[in-house]
Amino acid sequence: MLNAIIIEDENPALENLVSTIHAVADDVQIIATLSSVKQSIEYLSSNSSADLIFSDVQLGDGLSFDIFSHSGNRTPVIFITGYDEFMLNAFEYNGIDYLLKPVEKEGLRKALIKYRMLEKHFSGQHSMNNLLNYIGNHKKKRLVVKKGMENIALRLEDIVLFYTENKIVYVIDRFGKKYLADRNLGELEQSLDDSIFFRANRQYIININFIKGFKSYEKVKLLVDLTLSDLNHCIIVSQETAPQFRDWMYNA
């Protein structure tokens, strides 16, 4: 029996999902239904018996991505939403598939087949724990950002830096173009590959592939020189972070 949790705050959508699950899989047991970010974090922080989670993305008190970044949960997730703009972000948070509302039988059947194939592979050749490690440690390769009304999928390798100003997070790519990010620097830092990106200070995260060099600044700090010479940004690594930055650069 496959133990599943559903996170959904709309009753019609919840009822549709439950009936669709029962129609395509008689071995899925729904052990809990949750309806908010807060409730889900509390539940998942103390319960780890689920094999799979079905989760809406947009809840009344925030995005469900916040649940998985704060609860420490590593259970595989099938994300469900009415908007496809979150698709690329979904795979950062234990996501193994992504379904659009209203959930249809064929789409759900394929998502469950995908889960079972992953489970079979990792339990047969390694262990189910390795599946969780694979999902939990998977680093995203793209980031959805905004340019006006447009949602754009940027390759992370093309991002020079992230910075915050007046509580807004901006992204600058290799061509010097600026975009808006919908997450704060702390959340971005957790999701990025730390062999490539470094949190220089409270304002900046920088990509090692666009660092020309660095030099001492006020004796105990470091001033970072980027390859994009026309960027008007002064990036200073603090005294406390300087040793870690040096190690990061020398061991890259």
Domain membership of residue 219 (yes or no) is yes
- In angstroms, the CA 56 to CA 98 distance is 10
Residue 90 lies in a domain: yes
Q: Based on the fold, state whether residues 20 and 122 are members of the same structural domain.
A: yes
Q: What are the two backbone dihedrals, phi and then psi, of residue 142, each rounded to the nearest 5 degrees?
A: -135, 160
CATH of the domain at 221: 2.40.50.1020
Q: Range of 210's domain?
A: 155-250
Distance CA 229, CA 94 (A): 38
- Indicate whether 46 and 85 sit together in one domain: yes
CATH number reported for the structural domain that contains residue 28 in this entry: 3.40.50.2300
10 and 100, same domain (yes or no): yes
Residue matched to tokens 């980031």: 143
Write down the pTM of the prediction.
Answer: 0.54
Q: What is the pLDDT of residue 64?
A: 85
pLDDT value, residue 207: 95
Neighbours of 56 (CB within 10 A): 22
Domain final residue pick, 137, 165, 192: 137
Q: What is the pLDDT along the chain (252 residues), one digit of tens a residue?
A: 889 999 999 999 999 999 999 999 888 999 999 999 999 988 888 877 788 999 998 888 888 888 877 766 678 888 887 765 555 555 555 677 788 888 999 999 988 888 887 776 555 544 455 555 555 555 567 788 898 888 888 889 999 999 999 989 999 999 999 999 988 888 888 778 888 999 999 999 999 999 999 999 988 899 999 988 778 888 999 888 999 999 999 886
- pLDDT score for 125: 47
